Amino acid sequence: MAVIDFNKKHALDGDEVLLTALVKLNPTPFTQALQKEKVNDYLLQKRKANKLHKRELALKGNSLGLFSPRNRFRIWLTKIVISRKFDTFIHFIIFVSCVALVLDKPTLEDGSALKAVLFYLDLVITTLFIIEMLAKIISSGFYFPKGSYLSDSWNVLDGTIVFISILNLSLSGGLSYLKAIRALRAFRALRVITHAKSMKLVVSSLARALPALSNVCLIVGMSFLIFAIMGNQFFSGQFAYCQPFPEDRYSLNQDECIGGKLNENDEFVNRVWRNPPYNFDNFGSAFLTVFEVCSLEGWTEVMYTAMDITGRGLHPIKNNAWYSAFYFAFLIMIGSVFLFSLIVSVIIVKYLEMKTESDGQSFLTAGQRSWVVTQKLVIFSRPFRVSESPTGRFMRLRMPFF
């Protein structure tokens, strides 16, 4: 039996990664007892078992009321659908589809060669997607049997994307008022998620984390509320200055901000006393400013404006209220760093929970999981063969060198 080349990467789960890593590293005599051929047998048997399990799930009940579980055509399609080569081919088609979407632009001329190539390529890709969907429907059924095509939410996403592709091809006949639907072709990239187990796990963990994130969002909203009220008390009505000429900002008060002059385009412009886009004059503006600062987008301009305030109706002075920077430092520390880390930690916890469930160890304690790993190592270990020292004098002298 051929031995796995451990220098190459394989799509392995947690148990397989553990076994292959121990054989590859060999840091101790215990791990040296793990034989590559035995590990190869284990991996092969596990993959066969997974394939048979998928086949049993697919071949349940009559598909579309026409194909029984013993139908040869249905069995043949099931073998193709659950094969790794079929998944690899679909991944390649999805990649080609994404490249075609990048090349397709609204500015392409109707008679250009590239537009014609992209149209026929889109036709071929859509046809292959339809064939894939029909093969899965015939293999597992459409709606009624358990484990059918529509019983999996990821298949529903695939079917919706295929329907959008069919609708997009039908729009090429002249339905100009529906051309906006062509933008929905971008959802084809989502098919990468449906055919990647790890990406499915990430998306599912995000969906499961939504209820827990609602509590975190409540904490975030309360924090923004507190800082918005504080900012309204500290800076209300003090962000305004004379605009639009930069030289008037630090020299003219509100009662002096009158008249006007020519700008750089030789146009006469009147002076106006007004606020910058982000301010703390009312609760709504304060809450929006707090959100802008926590997003770390343009927050330095808001902080420098707060550091220059002098009072209502007075022109700003550089670093007159330098201590205002502490407000923004605490706001970023709590509203951006701490709360963002809290959101990420919730998502990571849900991801680890789903990963544990997918490994079949969701109801095991940490000690029980360690025991399972130890038992697997014991199964694939064997005693060492100890060689006895030779008895002859000449053989003893030869032993260290040969």
- At 4 the pLDDT is 39
Both tokens of 232, joined, read 């309204």
With b for 16 or more beta-carbon neighbours within 10 A and e for fewer, the 69-82 pattern comes to: eebeebbebbeebb
Q: Would you say 163 and 157 are in contact if contact means Cβ atoms under 8 Å apart?
A: no
pLDDT digits 0-9 by tens, 176-226: 555 566 667 777 777 777 777 777 777 778 888 888 888 888 888 898 999
Among 49-63, 232-246, 280-294, 370-384, which is the least confidently predicted range? 49-63
Mean pLDDT of 15-42: 51
Peptide bond into 244 cis (omega under 30): yes
What DSSP string runs through 229-296? HHHHHHHTT-S-EEES-GGGTTT--TTT---EEE-TTS-EEE-EEE--SS--SSHHHHHHHHHHHHTT
Q: Would you say 303 and 292 are in contact if contact means Cβ atoms under 8 Å apart?
A: no
Walk me through the domains of the chain, giving residue ranges and CATH numbers: 72-195 (1.20.120.350), 197-240+275-363 (1.10.287.70), 242-272 (no CATH)
pLDDT at 397 over 50: yes
- At 8 the pLDDT is 41
Both tokens of 245, joined, read 């000429």
- At 157 the pLDDT is 82
How many degrees, rounded to 5, is the angle at CA 14 between CA 13 and CA 18? Answer: 115
| Residue 315 CB-density burial (10 A; 0-12 exposed, 13-18 middle, 19+ buried) | buried
User: According to the per-residue pLDDT averaged within each range, which of 46-50, 167-171, 332-336 is highest?
Assistant: 332-336
Both tokens of 378, joined, read 């014991």
What CA–CA distance (Å, rounded) separates 308 from 142? 67
Block residue for tokens 């053989």: 395
pLDDT at 175 over 60: no
Q: Would you say 29 and 376 are in contact if contact means Cβ atoms under 8 Å apart?
A: no
Q: Would you say 165 and 78 are in contact if contact means Cβ atoms under 8 Å apart?
A: no
The SS3 of residue 135 is helix
Mean pLDDT of 297-325: 88
Both tokens of 147, joined, read 């484990």
Of residues 289 and 6, more confidently modeled: 289
CA 326 → CA 134, 316, 323, 337, distances in Å?
A: 62, 19, 6, 15
Q: Which amino acid is at 176?
A: S
Confidence of residue 326 (pLDDT cuts 50, 70, 90): very high
Q: Which amino acid is at 352?
A: L
What CA–CA distance (Å, rounded) separates 196 from 190? 10
pLDDT at 102 over 70: yes
What CA–CA distance (Å, rounded) separates 149 from 158? 10
Supply the DSSP symbol for 2.
P
Confidence of residue 327 (pLDDT cuts 50, 70, 90): very high
* Length in residues, the chain: 402
Q: Would you say 260 and 269 are in contact if contact means Cβ atoms under 8 Å apart?
A: yes
Supply the DSSP symbol for 286.
H
What CA–CA distance (Å, rounded) separates 234 from 324? 9
The SS3 of residue 66 is coil
With b for 16 or more beta-carbon neighbours within 10 A and e for fewer, the 218-227 pattern comes to: eebeebbeeb
- At 26 the pLDDT is 47
CA 157 → CA 87, 149, 150, 188, distances in Å?
A: 17, 11, 9, 10
- At 2 the pLDDT is 39
